[in-house]
Structure 1
Amino acid sequence: MQLRIEDMTCGGCAKSVTAAITSVDPNAKVEANPAARTVKVVTSASGARILKVLEQAGYPATVS
């Protein structure tokens, strides 16, 4: 799943995004690119669940 996260602008943001995703699926593979404001996620969790946890963490995302 490829996500666009407009509010992810730095490495600290990327860490927070990664932590939010791995709180739902500890085995998720997360590649965050703050410069492009994109995240690639390989997870067994549902897309809706990932989007919800990111919203709760303050990083609303859209599927791109």
Structure 2
Amino acid sequence: MVLQYQVPDMTCGHCVKTITGAVTAAVPGAAVEADVANHRVTVTGTDDKFAVENAIRDAGYSPTPA
């Protein structure tokens, strides 16, 4: 399954690193791809939308399903 989120407050490489770390810690085995220019995060390897979205929020960002 592919989960995609718009994260308008993801603006730099540090944001990507923080979000990636948060998601992979919350959902081991998940793979995270981030497109800073389009503010989009794509997560594969899980179908747990709740855990992924909460991990991004807990890291300080504002995800909305894309």
What is the TM-score with the length of structure 1 in the denominator? 0.90
Contact 1:3 1:39 in 2 (8 A): yes
Contact 1:9 1:34 in 2 (8 A): yes
Q: From the superposition, tell whether residues 60 and 43 of structure 1 become closer, same or farther in structure 2 (CA, over 3 Å).
A: farther
Question: Structure 1 residue runs of 4+, over 4 Å off?
Answer: none
In structure 1, stretches of 5+ residues that fail to align are none
Q: CA RMSD in A?
A: 1.1
In structure 2, stretches of 5+ residues that fail to align are none
Task: Give me the identity figure in percent.
Answer: 36
Among 56, 59, 64, the alignment partner of 2:58 is 56
What is the TM-score with the length of structure 2 in the denominator? 0.87
CA shift for structure 1 position 45: 5.3
How many positions carry a matched residue from both structures? 64
CA shift for structure 1 position 26: 2.4
Q: Deviations over 1:2-50 (max 9, x none)?
A: 1110110011101101001001122111110111100110132510111
